Structures are given as C-alpha cells and as structure tokens.
Amino acid sequence: MRVTLIQNNPQDNVEASLAVVGDLIARAAEQGTDLIALPEYYAFMGNTVVEHRDAGQQFEAISGRMAELARTNGVAIHAGSLAELRGNRTFNTTVVYGADGAELARYSKIHMFDIELPNGDVIRESDIISRGDEVVTYSLNGWTVGCTICYDLRFPELFRALRDRGADLIFVPSAFMLDTGRDHWEVLLRARAVETGCYVAAPGQVFKHAKGARACFGHSLVADPWGHVVAQVSDVVGLTTATLDRDYLATVRARMPVHNHHVLN
C-alpha cells in the first residue's frame, strides 16, 4: 500500500489553507497513492479559546469538503484533525474518508498537551479541548490502521492498545513544537514503530503561524516496523510517499515478536 504524508502551514485564512491542501492532495493522487494523511489542525491553527471554538463551528463544512476531495481524487484521506464542536464542548478530531468519500472512522485525541515551558509560558490544551475516550482503528486495503494525534505519541500504552486491536499502520498527525521536535520527534516515532512492530506515519505542520510566535517542527516521516525512516519531508510545504510492504512487516514481527511477550497488563 502506498501512503502519502502532506506537510502544510495553515494560517488564519481557512480558504487559503484548504486551497493548499487541495492542491497537494491532487498532486499526490496524480502521482499515485492509496491513502493520503494530513497534519493536526490542517485547516486552521488558532491561538485562543474563542478561535478554537469558532473553528469548531466549521467542522461539518470542512469535513464535507474533505469527503468531496477524497471522492473526486479517488483516494482515501486520513484527514489529520479539526476542532469539532459537540454541544458546548470542543474536541480535536480526526475523520477518515474512503476513496468514495464515505466516512471510515472518527477519532478524538485522548491525551491533552498541558505543560509549562522553561520560559514560564503555560500551554493547557484541556482549557480548550475535551478529552476523547475511544481507541480507534479502521480497515483499508487489507491493512488495519490505528489513530492517534500529536501528544498521544508520548504514551506508548495507546500504541500497544492499537497493536492489540490488530494495527499494522499507526498515524500520528501533528503540530509538534519546534523546540521539542528537534530532540524528541524522530526518536519517539521510531520507538513506537519498534515497540509495536507497526509502520508509523506522522504528517506534521511546519513553520510559524500568522499570529503565533511558536513554530512547528515539520519533518513529516514514515518509520518502518524495524524503526528505519523510509520517507521524510524536508523543511518545506510539501509531501512524501512511502510504499508499505506487508511481507516485510511479517518478517520483522517474526524476527522480533515482542507483541507476544507482554507480561504486564
């Protein structure tokens, strides 16, 4: 199966951001791929509670456009994440579409990014976003695909739960911060691949946003089940495609069957 990761830099103009995403999806489909994955908050990256809440009001409209892009390009889309408004609560939600535009899966981020930076800045995702509570996989082209989002990467128990549900490929759409990304991004993604014996694919945002001083690390990548990086995007808005090999997946799992050796629940 061929998997394409899109790396983008959404700004305050949702239409402009979606235009870039649409062009990259069309380019990937033309080059040939089975599944395209977008970053976390691929359409808009807000800086305040109000901005995130308002972005959540656009969830259905943007989701409809993603479904149409999947249908018109004839390719499945793992649509990163958007703010999703449910009643008076907002979630950070991935929606996955088949090549016919039908919804295949929906996942809401479980782990909230609540930290205090060394410079004293406080980031509390939980002030804006409600926590999801469901481990989600879906099937595509004979592969079982697991869903995570960004900060979930730091919690290997979620990746183990996905592997327990049969995952062969795990996505990590992200807006990973530049400062932590320099040291943690690649090593964590490769570790999750080795621990689970899965392909791990992580499309990320890159560069700064219109109103924000913080920058995203980018370096979207695919790690194979042995932990090798087999595809990566440079410091650009762009894409990369990797071919996933089921025979190689089986070989790695036979050589290092760690999934059969867990003794702690």
CB 219 within 8 A of CB 255: no
Residue 11 resides in a domain: yes
Residue 150 a catalytic site member: yes
Residue 51 a catalytic site member: no
> To the nearest whole number, what is the mean pLDDT of the chain?
93
Q: What is the pLDDT of residue 94?
A: 98
Q: What is the pLDDT of residue 48?
A: 67
Catalytic residue among 84, 147, 150, 198: 150
Residue 265 resides in a domain: no
Q: Give the structural domain span for 249.
A: 2-258
Catalytic residue among 109, 147, 198, 216: 109
Write the pLDDT tens digit of every residue in 218-257: 999 999 999 999 999 999 999 999 999 999 999 999 998 8
Q: What's CA 95's distance to the chain center, in Å?
A: 10
pTM of the model: 0.95
Domain count, the chain: 1
Q: What is the pLDDT of residue 60?
A: 94
CATH classification at residue 209: 3.60.110.10
Residue 264 resides in a domain: no
Q: What is the pLDDT of residue 213?
A: 63
Please check the confidence at residue 217 and state whether its pLDDT lies above 80: yes
In the chain, the percentage of residues whose pLDDT exceeds 90 is 77
